[in-house]
């Protein structure tokens, strides 16, 4: 894979801090209660970050994956992280004695995966394109 790992790492770090800051502010100012769709946006951004993260991890091994293999690896990795996060939320619901909402859980995992699919598009159109256009 011919790509610019440094550029991808910059995107990963920026997005990670952006998600952290928005989540921190959302908890302080109760944005999750006030803005009903913020949870959807945060899961999409989380899936996007996880997808880019696994692109970075898989590129460290310098293995040339076929695009379809890479697609399934990113998809399944993001699905696993999304499901693990939903288990975490489920156990928090048990501790705080709040009701479990299956529709919310399914929509969260859906937007995690949607974010990962967008990361694949972003990776191949932005990261890979920019690295092939640079003068070496």
pLDDT tens across 16-68, in order? 999 999 999 999 999 999 999 999 999 999 999 999 999 899 877 766 777 78
Which helix or strand (DSSP H or E) is residue 12 part of? helix 5-28
CA distance 51 to 69: 14
Taking CA atoms, 127 is separated from 6, 8, 84, 120, in Å, by: 10, 7, 28, 10
Residue 59's pLDDT is: 79
Q: Please calculate the CA angle 50-53-59 and round it to the nearest 5 degrees.
A: 145
Cα separation values, 10 from 2, 13, 19, 33, Å: 17, 5, 14, 31
C-beta neighbour count of 42 within 10 angstroms: 19
- Model confidence, pTM: 0.87
Q: Hey, what are 23's tokens?
A: 């989540």
């Amino acid at each position: 894979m011919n790509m610019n790992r440094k550029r991808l790492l910059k995107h990963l770090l920026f997005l990670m801090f952006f998600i952290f800051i928005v989540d921190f502010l959302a908890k302080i100012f109760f944005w999750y209660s006030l803005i009903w769709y913020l949870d959807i946006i945060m899961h999409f951004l989380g899936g996007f970050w996880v997808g880019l993260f696994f692109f970075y991890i898989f590129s460290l091994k310098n293995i040339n994956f076929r695009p379809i293999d890479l697609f399934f690896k990113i998809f399944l990795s993001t699905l696993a992280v999304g499901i693990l996060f939903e288990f975490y939320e489920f156990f928090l619901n048990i501790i705080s004695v709040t009701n479990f909402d299956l529709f919310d859980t399914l929509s969260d995992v859906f937007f995690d995966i949607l974010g990962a699919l967008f990361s694949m598009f972003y990776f191949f159109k932005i990261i890979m394109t920019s690295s092939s256009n640079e003068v070496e």
